[in-house]
Amino acid sequence: MSKEEMFKELADAVISCKKDAVDAAVEKARSEGIEPAEIIEKGLAAGMNEVGIMFERGKLFLPHVMLAAGAMESGVTILEADMPKDTASKKLGVIVNGTVEGDVHDIGKSIVSTMLQSAGFEVHDIGRDVPLQDFIDKIKETNADMVGLSALMTTTLPGQKAVIEMLKEQGLRDNIKVMVGGAPATENWAKKIGADCYAENASEAVAKAKELLV
């Protein structure tokens, strides 16, 4: 089976909403020596994007989306074991990452955390629907070098801007880099709100974090 066929099988497994099919496709891709990051981005996430498109077109309903999300998470969990948690003896930097208040979407944010961690960053993933002040508190507590702010809805996107304002008000903005992401975020939005960078996906997030912190 070619790599492309393998990615399609992974994506189709997510679309089928079947956890067993996802787990089997992940095990297969893994045994073929495909990198976890590729399995996630070109296979599982591509499938989840398809699910999103079908949901938007009214071809799939929320329970399907929830099942597909659960199936994808199961596949990602298998792969997490393959990603070295502690690659560098000296950490590349400390990053607080979370999904802003009012937003429960966390699949993409968790992938970003996992990939940053396996790239050698110390990551404090504070979850989803996180009260904005909690980002600030965690940044202080961990003396973080960067904060990642995820938002998947146009209605929660302003939370990213609000955190940046809070960092300024509390005198912390000069000591921390801000990275924003999530489907409705864009490069332009990042510029507009004064973030340090935007990343479209997890690999790009790792590249940008290295650019800014290493």
Residues that bind ligand B12 (CB under 6 A): 41, 45, 48, 51-52, 55-56, 62, 65-66, 69, 97, 102-109, 111-112, 148-150, 152-155, 179-184, 199, 201-202, 205
Choice between 75 and 148, CB closer to ligand B12: 148
Rounded to whole angstroms, the Cα distance separating 152 from 100 reads 9
| Minimum separation from the CB atom of position 172 to ligand B12 (A) | 17
Choice between 1 and 186, CB closer to ligand B12: 186
- Spatial contact of 45 and 92, defined as CB atoms under 8 Å apart: no
Choice between 65 and 172, CB closer to ligand B12: 65
| Minimum separation from the CB atom of position 10 to ligand B12 (A) | 13
- Spatial contact of 22 and 75, defined as CB atoms under 8 Å apart: yes
What is the dihedral angle through the alpha carbons of 171, 206, 44, 110, rounded to the nearest 10 degrees? -30
**Alpha-carbon distance values, 102 to 42, 59, 75, 132 (Å):** 29, 26, 26, 10
| Minimum separation from the CB atom of position 129 to ligand B12 (A) | 7
| Minimum separation from the CB atom of position 6 to ligand B12 (A) | 18
Q: Which amino acid is at 68?
A: A
Choice between 167 and 199, CB closer to ligand B12: 199
Based on the number of CB atoms within 10 Å of its own CB, is 190 exposed (0-12), middle (13-18) or buried (19 or more)? Answer: buried
